[in-house]
Structure 1
Amino acid sequence: MTDLPRENVQSYPRPPALEPVPQRIMIRLGGALVSETARALRVLETHHAPSYYLPPEDIHATLRPVQGSSYCEWKGVARYFDVIAGGRTAARAAWSYDSPTARFAALAGYVAFYAGLMEEVWVGDLRVIPQPGSFYGGWVTPNLDGQIKGAPGTQHW
């Protein structure tokens, strides 16, 4: 079993931190492997479950660009993708920063996935559940403590 240390999301920094992920990440959709990598990065931000970003060369699904974008005060402008794998299409299920801010330059081209729109998401041998709500894309693992932003009434903290 993966031994992830206890982490309290309330102690994550603001502005957020960026760090490598030592565990293997695995994502499936429609029974097909979307990605498996030991080269992911994660963003840690106060009151958020970590957001995981995977290198594009380790993504085996088709990513189809969709209309629209969003802006993060820390990372910049994100673009979104439909994820197509295993005969299924998950609409607007992934995002990426083509030209992130200098602090997050290492994320350029890396892709994050909404756990709730995938069939399976794993960090090591721990199954991920999605961050509450429909906007934030953090991945909740059993080692996290503290109140995680995203549920009704928490979006504008």
Structure 2
Amino acid sequence: MVTSAGIETQRIDERVQVFLDGVMIADSINAIKLLEPGHEPVYYIPKNDLHEIDLAKFDDYHCPFKGEAELLTVKQGSKQFENVAWSYEEPFDELSELKGRVAFYEDKVDQIRVM
């Protein structure tokens, strides 16, 4: 799907894994790839594909193209990593498939592996 702002979402066949502090915290074969003009691709992972972490709201964010998001802190064991991820809990209708999914800032995790 391509929105009026040129944002495209794609269901992908690849496996997406996210590593933080040396631990795999996400492993999904159900990710959605979001392509937005002027930005690198972003992978939105279903929350049920997250492992050994808890998410806590860090802040709110409004994107004029995607909707209302929550910036998230990742709690892993006794460690906390602030503002590492985000989730659109109230995306605009044309991007409703992002609801219930989490994306990670690539520069705040060890690696986002797509294979």
Interval of TM-score (by shorter of Structure 1 and Structure 2): 0.7 to 0.9
In 1, the alpha carbon distance for the partners of 2:6 and 2:63 equals 11
Instruction: Give the whole-Å Cα distance in 1 for the aligned partners of 2:23 and 2:94.
Output: 34
- Relative to the length of structure 2, the TM-score reads 0.87
3-state SS of paired residue (2:89) = coil
Gaps of 5+ in 2: none
Match of 1:38 in 2: 29
For residues 34 and 87 of structure 1, the distance between their equivalents in structure 2, rounded to whole angstroms, comes to 15
SS of corresponding position for 1:15: coil
- Kindly tell me the number of residue pairs found equivalent between the two proteins: 111
Distance (Å, rounded) in 2 between the aligned partners of 1:34 and 1:17: 26
Large movers: runs of 4+ above 3 Å? none
Q: Name the structure 1 match of 2:92.
A: 101
> After superposition, what is the alpha-carbon deviation per residue over 1:42-80, rounded to whole angstroms, capped at 9, x for unaligned?
1111121111100010011211112x2221122101111
* Contact 2:44–2:101, Cα closer than 8 Å, also in 1: yes
Percent identity over the alignment is: 29
Q: More strand by proportion, 1 or 2?
A: 2
Partner letter of residue 49 of structure 1?
E
2:111 corresponds to 1:120: yes
Residue 54 (structure 1) aligned with residue 42 (structure 2): no
Report the alpha carbon displacement of residue 86 of structure 1 after superposing the two structures with TM: 5.7
